[in-house]
Amino acid sequence: MVLYSRRTFPKLSSSGVRLEFHGLFSEFHSVLGALALAIVFARSLTRPLVQMTRLVEGFARQEPMEIPVNASGEIGVLARAFAQMGAAISEKTAALEREIEERTRIFETSPDLILVTDIHPENLDPAEIAKLRKPGAPVVMPMAVASEAGAKIAAPTIVLANGESKTVTEIGIEAVPMYNLQHGPKPGELYHPKGRGNGYIITLGGKRLYFMGDTECTPEAKAVKDVDVAFVPMNMPQTMTPGDTAECIKAFQPKIVYPYHYEGQKRDEAFMRALLRGTTVDFRANLR
């Protein structure tokens, strides 16, 4: 508007015009000054933005990050904030990768079938079953376990009574009674009463595997036949002494035996080896 002052006000003196133009140049200089400041600010802002962009690209490629510093060796505010954010993201990412790796490992090694023998905590742990169980994997158990666990073990579940047999996920399962004949916490009471728990014989890959559970050498255990691998308990007072276990092994004559529940006591292993000397049983005392 001031540029047109001469036309708009022709009677103004030249000095007046100059004054008007002086006002114009003052405003123009202000605009230039503001533009210059904007350029300086933009440069000061662009540099850390460029640095941040490079950091982001490097982070995406999982490259080591070099945090930019100014002439005084100080980390810029934006760079510091981004570095902290990047470190937090890296930590979360590493934790997530570890969790994925662990879940993958568990899934790859998860059982297709779970068998529960009895209601005692060392035999029945619903939380552990849920952790290890592959989705849809059936859980086989006696009725006492089903009653004890209730809804804590989700379907599919299969209840087998002593003496019953069933094929589950193409695996043959026989429920063998497991119980005490004489050992108990007090007179007239047994640690494992008859009818409550199951031992299991499973047929897998043409082999018969006998998991005796927590039991003494019952008539039903002595009567099992054609066992390729037997897992036998050996601990007192809840199940059997090494002598009892050896007699039971001689009765049903498995090809291979793994003792358990004895916590690796070398004395018991030595007793078992001595008691089974002269038999064809392959005694493998390397489970703990």
Write out pLDDT tens, residues 127-162: 999 988 988 999 999 999 999 999 999 999 999 999
pLDDT of 258 reads 92
Residue ranges of the chain assigned to CATH 3.60.15.10: 111-283
pLDDT of 7 reads 39
Joined together, the tokens standing for residue 138 give: 């059936």
**Architecture category of domain 111-283 in CATH:** 4-Layer Sandwich (3.60)
pLDDT of 91 reads 79
pLDDT of 2 reads 32
CA angle 247, 189, 249 (to 5 degrees): 10
- Total-model pTM: 0.62
Instruction: List, in order, residues 6 or more apart from 180 with CB less than 8 Å away.
Output: 190, 191, 192, 193, 215, 216, 238, 239
Joined together, the tokens standing for residue 37 give: 């400041």
> Where are the extended beta strands (E) located within 35-170?
114-115, 139-141, 157-159, 165-168
pLDDT of 177 reads 97
pLDDT of 40 reads 52
The list of the chain residues with pLDDT below 50 reads: 1-26, 28, 73-74, 287-288
pLDDT of 196 reads 96
